Amino acid sequence: MTAPVTHEVVPAREPSTPEEVRLPPRTGALRRALKHPRLMHYNRLAAGVLAVNLALAAVGAAEGRWSSRTLSYAALVNIALAVVVRNQYVINLFFRVATAAPTRWPLKVRWTLGKVYHFGGLHVGGALAGSLWFCAAVAALTAEGADAAVLAVSYAPLLLLAAMLVTTLPRIRTPHHDLFERTHRFGGWASLALLWVQAALTGSAVALWVLAGITASVALPWLRLRKVPVDITRPSGHVALLRFDHGETPFAGSSTAVSRSPLLEWHSFANVPVPGEDGFHLTVSRAGDWTGRLIDDAPRQLWVKGITTAGVANIERLFTKVVYVATGSGIGPCLPHLLAQQVPASLVWSTRNPRRTYGDPLIDDILAVQPDAFIWDTDERGKPDMVRLAYWAYERSGAEAVICISNKKLTWRVVHALESRGIPAYGAIWDS
């Protein structure tokens, strides 16, 4: 096992029990407002992209610059932004740059850099702006009396973009995620093909170059598509532990997308590489039809696509010490960081009977590197107040930040409760 890296950590605060700890008062009204989930960095980035486009539209309109061609360029640039920021290499670059800051930098700076995983706001802003620009470009083509063929390959992607935007609405996306995913995949591919035809018909060299970049970004993950063997063990009917050893050992804190039907649906899980061993594990809990079938069927092969991608917990390296707060299978994304011991950490984990659910080997691995881990058995003690537990662990350990890996509702509650009290806190934002 890799020896832990030594860090200078903040002295531990006065210890207390979870029952005794009192949450500090919330900070001022302005900070509380800025820390509200609706004003999180993800939404700020999306709004920023839209604001820049609105300013450019106003300037162009005042100077009379807009034609169908310039409008289409604006649309393509924004669509390129939306696509490229989702590329795995670009995502890993974002994390590498943001987490390169040394821990001697002011905490406020590192706190903000830790929000790097909100980059999806750029995707949303670019997609919305690109769709609006493209709508304007099609309207201009119609007004200019473009050829019927050009109009045909312009209105078709416009309809596809509208369908893609509609399926992103929470009321449709949440209960019908498979529909959302397939609409984006096949609608996106069809739109891209039609835009190639449009660019060829209009003779736009600039559009062809931008489309080449977009196409390369879309195609790259699929060029690494392959079907690989997997060894699945089931410590309980609730959990499956997937073991891969096909020549890749991903870095701690990355994720891998797997599928049984690569054209239809993909699911990402945190990689758990074991120091000193080849290959990696994935921890899959029963959380829906797909994961349920995987646990029950235990297939011998699965499809993998693209490259391993950095996840939210990679921001740990920005801090001298962190607290991991997990519930249930949320232990999966935490485990590789705990095993790697690159940053001092404390663990709070709430789950149903841990040994019966996840098996002795996994629990023993955790306790080997986290002998003081606080594991709350919900079968024995009921559901805890995770905000209070998170603050208790933060207070007694002297950590600088809290990373929460749980379901959407609880993650946002923990993150908001701590951030509104002046404590750096992070958790997934479910934008994929």
- Domains, the chain, with CATH or none: 35-222 (no CATH), 226-310 (2.40.30.10), 313-427 (3.40.50.80)
Q: What are phi and psi of 309, to 5 degrees?
A: -120, 140
Q: How far is CA 217 from CA 90, 210, 221, in A?
A: 10, 11, 8
pLDDT at 16: 59
pLDDT at 288: 81
pLDDT at 1: 40
pLDDT at 23: 87
Q: Distance from CA of residue 165 to its chain's centroid?
A: 19
Q: Residue 78 has what DSSP assignment?
A: H
Q: H-helix or E-strand containing 197?
A: helix 177-202
pLDDT in tens, 323-367: 999 999 999 999 999 999 999 999 999 999 999 999 999 999 999
Q: How far is CA 407 from CA 214, 392, 411, 428, in A?
A: 33, 20, 6, 9
Using DSSP, state whether 325 is helix, strand or coil: strand
pLDDT at 305: 86
Q: Residue 272 has what DSSP assignment?
A: B
pLDDT in tens, 390-421: 999 999 999 999 999 999 999 999 999 999 99
Residue burial 9-22, b: 16+ Cβ < 10 Å; e: rest: beeeeeeeebeebe
pLDDT in tens, 375-393: 999 999 999 999 999 999 9
C-beta of residue 119 within 8 angstroms of C-beta of residue 87: no
- In the chain, which residues have pLDDT < 50? 1-15, 432
Angle (deg, nearest 10), helices 68-84 and 177-202: 140
Q: Residue 50 has what DSSP assignment?
A: H
pLDDT at 19: 67
CB atoms within 10 A of CB 368: 11
pLDDT at 8: 39
pLDDT at 3: 41
